Amino acid sequence: MDPGSGLDTDDDTKRKREQDQDETFGTSKMTKRTPHKNIKQYKEQPQEQTLIHMMQDLMSKNKEMMEEIKQIRAEQRKYHEELMEKFLEEELKLKIKLRGAGKISDKVYVIETEDMTDKLNILKHKKDLRKLTDRIYINTDLTKREREIQKELQKLASEERRNGNTVKIGYKKLIINDEEWSWDEEGGKLQKPRTPKN
C-alpha cells in the first residue's frame, strides 16, 4: 500500500481502531460527584423512618388479626360444644356439659367432658347410636400405639367371627365365646385367658 494512494496502511488502521474503541468503551465524560456525608445521612434517615413506621403498622395489624383469629376460634369452640351437647341430648338422651369440643375434619369431632363419669356415661350409651341411619362412632382418644393395638384386635375379631365365634372388642382385650383374652404388650399378641386360682 502506498502512502500517496489515499489508502491507510495497516498501522494507521490499527491505530484508528484503537482510538475508536477507547472512545466507545472509555470513561464517561460526566464527572462523578459523591454527595456530602451530611446530605447522604439526611437522605437515608427518612427511608429508615418510613421503614420503621411501616413495620410498626404491620405489627399492629398482625396483633389485630391474631386477636380476631382467637375470637373466631373461641366462637367455633363454643358452637361445636353446643352442637355436640345437643347431639348427646337428642340421640343418647344424656344431659352433659362439655369442657371443650372441636372439629378435626368433615366427619370427626373431638369432645372433652367435665369429668370421667360423663365420659364413661357416653361410652356406656354409645350402642344407642346403632338405630341411626348415619354411621356414627364414639371412641376414646387413644395414643398411636393404642390405636395400632385396637386395629390389630379388630382384625383378630373379624377372623374369629368368620370362624363362627361370638366376639366383643374391649380396650386391649377380646371376649371370645365369653372368654376374655388380653393383649400382651411384651409379646405383641393376645394372651390366653387366665384360670382363676382356687
CB 134 within 8 A of CB 145: no
Cell of 101: 369440643
pLDDT at 59: 92
140, 166, 185 - which closes a domain: 140
pLDDT at 64: 93
Find the domain containing 102 and state its range.
40-140
Say if 23 falls within a structural domain.
Answer: no
pLDDT at 149: 86
pLDDT at 162: 92
pLDDT at 1: 45
Task: Annotate 46-110 with DSSP letters as a single string.
Answer: HHHHHHHHHHHHHHHHHHHHHHHHHHHHHHHHHHHHHHHHHHHHHHS-----EEEEEE-SSS-EE
Distance CA 3, CA 188 (A): 107
Q: Is 70 in the same domain as 135? A: yes
CA angle 174, 197, 182 (to 5 degrees): 15
Distance CA 121, CA 114 (A): 12
Counting as low any pLDDT under 50, the low residues of the chain are: 1, 198
Domain total of the chain = 2
140, 158, 175 - which closes a domain: 140
pLDDT at 34: 60
Say if 146 falls within a structural domain.
Answer: yes
96, 116, 140 - which closes a domain: 140
Q: Is 85 in the same domain as 175? A: no
**Cβ contacts of 122 within 8 Å, gap of 6 or more:** 88, 92, 94, 96, 113, 138
State if pTM tops 0.85. no
Q: Is 53 in the same domain as 132? A: yes
pLDDT at 71: 94
